[in-house]
Amino acid sequence: MEKCIFCHLPPDAIIAANELAVAIFDKYPVNPGHTLVIPRRHYASYFEATEEEVMALHRLVTEVKKILDERYHPDGYNVGVNVGACAGQAIGHVHLHVIPRFNGDSPRPGGLRRVKKPVTPWLREDE
């Protein structure tokens, strides 16, 4: 098995942590402040997490948001996890993305609905 980069993080890369998870800035950020929240235990899928781990991950997401609010003053956030290669998971150690969003950073943000063509077309508010 290859050495997992998330299992061997340098201590100075960690921006926040709790008993079951750590947070680091993404090396290839989508936006300034793009952060990864990573469980300390190695497992590939979010769905393998224990209830305690899920709670610890989400507590750390909330802590990271406070750090990013103070440092970057974003207008919004995308928070998500890719599960499986077809969903974009590139590293076999689960991690949550916390991506600060800024007004005007994308011409048509659309959130997760921009991942692919929808099965059912999205209706505008005036329809």
Annotated binding site for substrate: 97
Q: Are 87 and 103 in contact (CB under 8 A)?
A: no
Q: Are 96 and 81 in contact (CB under 8 A)?
A: yes
Residues 6+ apart with CB under 8 A from 92: 4, 44
73 in catalytic set: no
Helix or strand run (H / E) with residue 38: strand 35-39
The pair phi, psi for residue 3, each rounded to 5°, is -70, 125
For the annotated catalytic residues, the residue numbers are 95
